[in-house]
Structure 1
Amino acid sequence: LMKKIIPHSRPSLGAEECAAAVKVIKSGFLAQGAETAGLERDCASLVGVRQGAAVSSGTAALYLALRALGAGPGREVVMPSYVCSSLWHAVKLCGAAPVLADSDPETFNLDPVSVKRSFGRKTAAVIVPHMFGLPAHVREIARLGVPVVEDCAQALGARSGGRRCGSSGAASVLSFYATKLAAAGEGGMVLSASEKVIRRVRDLRAYDGLVPDEPRFNFKLTDLQAAVARVQLRRLKTFLARRAALAREYGDLLGGVVGLPRQEDGRIYHRYVVILPRKVKAEDVEARLERRGVCARKPVFRPLHLHVACRGRFPGTEKAWQSALSLPLYPEMTAAQCRFVAAQLSKVLKGC
């Protein structure tokens, strides 16, 4: 047994991030300012949209994007069940009703057929995450005639059909949480080609000097976080290349052992999620790997339809939840660590 655990995720922070943070601290200006405005321009340019509005977290970004698109009491927002609960919280905070849809158990992305079945007269928007870095069917879902919010928290830098993920919906959101592709501890971004949407988000993210004509909150990002995030964006291409190299290494080692992630042009690897053999429980494999020095995780803690009252059936989601396992993947991971993880997974599965 190994005493030192190979972590599931780890941010890649170095001297350049430290220097950027120190520069902000020495300036004496820590709140939302020039660095935050620079991050907004950087993200809009990277994704290929007109403008961005930086906010305090990815969840805040979802909430504000939905508010800007008209989600609220008496309206519904369609979203996957197979996703982290931040989406559900954002919808509920708007006062809208979450309507859950099923996902494809091989891609882990929203099933457009299930989305169509979930539509109704009250539907205000659909949240479409690009799960683990694999582009989802955004344009197909957008053709249904309801605004799409692209959740790009796991897909910064991915492409689909020659376009950057985040540039096809009515709005898109990013996260700069510590485990994300560009990490600043916390932080989020709303992006849109619509000036009206961004203007509304900026109006809602603060309350100082504004008439209290509606509920507001402080959702602003600080220049300290923005400065670190800007450095991370400059390093993103290198990060993604390293993640892709590790994914190829995993693929060479685990082909025939587990189901491998879907290969598509333009995808990136925020997570390396494999599909375990039938009747093998992901939580059992996770526990056995931990004893062997590997921190693997079920990529979604628990589908939302198992937590909250909802209508419909979710066979794809339940299959994904039972069979998917996320292996360690981060830019500073070594090839030797990658081989060790693959070897331990193979040994564990032989004993199942």
Structure 2
Amino acid sequence: MIPHNKPTFGIEEEQAALRVIRSGWVAQGCEVEAFENEFCEFIGLPVGHAVAVASGTSALFMALWALQAQGKRVAFPVYTCSSLRHAVAMIGAIEQLVDVSPGTPNIDLQALSQTRADIAIVPHMFGLPLCISNLKDIEIIEDCAQALGASVNDTFVGLQGKLGIFSFYATKLITSGGQGGMVVSKEKALIDAIKDYRQFDCRQDKNKRFNFQMTDLQAAIGREQLYKLPNFLSRRDEIFNLYSQAGLELLDIHSEFKNYLSPVRYRAVLKTPISSTNKIIQSLISMGIKLIIPIEDYELLGDIFFNALMLSKKSVSLPIYPSLTNNEVQYIISNLNELKEYK
């Protein structure tokens, strides 16, 4: 079976993990600090402007905490991961759901501007970046869980808003061993506050904190993955282009925006007829190929959002991880092209 997704590991990750195990120190330590600093260098921030945490969800919670979101109105799209709802609920904020723009997986910015929200969480879904420079009078958290390496006007995503958050879950663009996250900001004071919160133990001030720490074992793996990220992204581009050149219609940024938006290929999302999605998935499973609906209709965070519902019913995600071979890509293409359900 060709899986829909899988992490891409090599001997380097094994050696990094072994190095930490042999050191005798596996909790948060020098590897975490090095990962934070290298992440800053990659994304274009001064050293000290990133903080590593246990997961993407905890990164989002900490970003909301840093913006003092409790009791405030927080807007986010209905077409997204449930972790946004969980983090907003945990911080004690008031959720305001927003639809996506027609035919895209990203939040409708015009609808967002009409919510009167205090804070907005803006995901760059499937690696397709969104320019948010025109949003005024609202604090922005960029959710870059699926978009590490994407850019807007030659600036990496995560730097347009107050804070940016990243996920290193097993299926993301890089992984720190299954879980992990990062918060970045151009405002050092926000990062320093999050680091203080993360350092929960052996404190004399009695302030309430929580253990969101990343381990050195995770960070060592994440460092190796970050080093490989440019090659990972290049390989994903190659696979995406093979699909496109074969005539498969994939979700992408509109051609008029390509001069200033640079996506990464986290997902290769195939546009499908509304009645054929499940038939396509089942047909390819019988051929040894795993496809998924990227966000099922039951996973939508609201029931009355037409654009999100249509996207859920008319899209299928194809395999696009770096270790996928060209022969496997051609096998997927040939089997798709033979399906009458896809025609």
Q: Secondary structure at the match of 2:22?
A: helix
Tell me the equivalent position of 2:330. Answer: 339
| In 1: Cα distance, 2:171 partner to 2:109 partner | 28
Match for 1:295 among 265, 280, 290? 290
Cα deviation for residue 47 of structure 1 reads: 1.5
Match for 2:186 among 188, 193, 200? 193
Match for 1:44 among 40, 45, 50? 40
Check the 8 A contact 1:152/1:166 in 2, yes or no: yes
Letter in 2 for 1:169: G
Q: CA, structure 1 residues 348+215, in 2 after alignment: closer, same or farther (shift >3 Å)?
A: farther
Alignment of 1:13-32 (within 5 A): 13-32=9-28
Match for 1:181 among 173, 179, 189? 173
Is residue 145 from structure 1 mapped to residue 146 from structure 2 by the alignment? no
| In 2: Cα distance, 1:105 partner to 1:323 partner | 12
TM-score by length of 2: 0.93
| In 1: Cα distance, 2:95 partner to 2:341 partner | 41
Check the 8 A contact 2:129/2:152 in 1, yes or no: yes
Q: CA, structure 1 residues 318+212, in 2 after alignment: closer, same or farther (shift >3 Å)?
A: farther
Check the 8 A contact 2:28/2:214 in 1, yes or no: yes
Cα deviation for residue 344 of structure 1 reads: 1.9
Cα deviation for residue 215 of structure 1 reads: 4.0
Is residue 125 from structure 1 mapped to residue 119 from structure 2 by the alignment? yes
Check the 8 A contact 1:251/1:260 in 2, yes or no: no
| In 2: Cα distance, 1:21 partner to 1:54 partner | 17
| In 1: Cα distance, 2:20 partner to 2:81 partner | 33
Tell me the equivalent position of 1:159. Answer: 151
Is residue 323 from structure 1 mapped to residue 320 from structure 2 by the alignment? no
Tell me the equivalent position of 1:309. Answer: none
Task: Provide the aligned length of Structure 1 versus Structure 2.
Answer: 333
Is residue 241 from structure 1 mapped to residue 238 from structure 2 by the alignment? no
Cα deviation for residue 199 of structure 1 reads: 1.3
Q: CA, structure 1 residues 148+317, in 2 after alignment: closer, same or farther (shift >3 Å)?
A: same
Cα deviation for residue 9 of structure 1 reads: 0.7
Give structure 2 stretches of 5+ with no counterpart: none
Cα deviation for residue 284 of structure 1 reads: 3.0
Match for 2:130 among 116, 132, 136? 136
Cα deviation for residue 45 of structure 1 reads: 1.7
Check the 8 A contact 2:104/2:251 in 1, yes or no: no
Check the 8 A contact 2:250/2:268 in 1, yes or no: no
Check the 8 A contact 1:253/1:339 in 2, yes or no: no
Check the 8 A contact 2:104/2:311 in 1, yes or no: no
Q: Secondary structure at the match of 1:30?
A: coil
Alignment of 1:72-87 (within 5 A): 72=70, 74-87=71-84
| In 2: Cα distance, 1:293 partner to 1:114 partner | 41
| In 2: Cα distance, 1:195 partner to 1:10 partner | 35
Tell me the equivalent position of 2:69. Answer: 71
Letter in 1 for 2:66: A
Check the 8 A contact 1:180/1:270 in 2, yes or no: yes
- Alignment RMSD: 1.7
Check the 8 A contact 1:80/1:102 in 2, yes or no: yes
Check the 8 A contact 2:175/2:222 in 1, yes or no: yes
> Over residues 28-73 of structure 1, what are the superposed CA-to-partner deviations in whole Å (9 max), with x where a residue is unaligned?
010111110011111112122341010000000000001001101x
Check the 8 A contact 1:259/1:276 in 2, yes or no: no
Check the 8 A contact 2:74/2:121 in 1, yes or no: yes
Is residue 170 from structure 1 mapped to residue 159 from structure 2 by the alignment? no
Moved beyond 6 Å, runs of 4+: none
Q: Secondary structure at the match of 1:304?
A: coil
TM-score by length of 1: 0.90
| In 1: Cα distance, 2:160 partner to 2:78 partner | 22
| In 1: Cα distance, 2:275 partner to 2:206 partner | 55
| In 1: Cα distance, 2:270 partner to 2:208 partner | 43
Check the 8 A contact 2:27/2:215 in 1, yes or no: yes
Tell me the equivalent position of 2:51. Answer: 53
Cα deviation for residue 204 of structure 1 reads: 1.9
Cα deviation for residue 220 of structure 1 reads: 0.1
Alignment of 1:308-319 (within 5 A): 313-319=304-310
Cα deviation for residue 211 of structure 1 reads: 4.9
Q: Secondary structure at the match of 1:115?
A: helix
Letter in 1 for 2:59: A
Q: CA, structure 1 residues 85+349, in 2 after alignment: closer, same or farther (shift >3 Å)?
A: farther
Q: Secondary structure at the match of 1:235?
A: helix
Give structure 1 stretches of 5+ with no counterpart: 307-312
Q: Secondary structure at the match of 1:127?
A: strand
Q: CA, structure 1 residues 174+104, in 2 after alignment: closer, same or farther (shift >3 Å)?
A: same
Cα deviation for residue 274 of structure 1 reads: 1.6
Tell me the equivalent position of 1:91. Answer: 88
Is residue 7 from structure 1 mapped to residue 3 from structure 2 by the alignment? yes
Check the 8 A contact 2:280/2:341 in 1, yes or no: no
